[in-house]
Copies of this chain bind each other. A is one copy, B any other.
């Protein structure tokens, strides 16, 4: 990426690198928490001009994309740290829920319409690393008979995510406490998957 593009051209300058990084960091903070923030505010938080933001991220949507990518990477790291793959399927599932739940809490952007919206092909591709892990889990559970196999893993993934959003929404609307919502979510998911209750 930071290689020489043309045979006789210099490489990217270090201050450009720093600016781009500062902008992305600021965007993760600002947009992550306040999804409606304007480009101007991100620039300010990065200690940079609006034009400089555009120099590195040609449009607001592309900046948001970069933010989501960053958050996704964070999520993957958190999931891997939780060792989701070597446990009882049900236990792993609960861990998965726990980790992603925390992320929703930390980054309201993930609950935001612009990202949540239905026909978002990019959005799907972007979250793939996270959803893949869940889908793998579901397949494992269905194969072992721990989960019922009638509903397709792909649908169960979608359903899980959307229920997560709903639970987050209940908390945001003040209709449930975080603990209540998390508990309801866990139980709902287990039922949905046709898991044998413990």
Contacts and interface: CB of A to CB of B under 8 A. Distances in A.
A192 interface: yes
A151 interface: yes
A149 interface: no
A187 interface: yes
Copies of this chain, complex-wide, total: 2
A191 B188 CA distance: 9
Interface in A6-40: none
A170 B121 CA distance: 11
Nearest to A152: B184
Nearest to A162: B166
A187 B151 contact: yes
A192 B184 contact: no
Given A113-B116, A114-B113, A162-B163, A155 B170 contact: yes
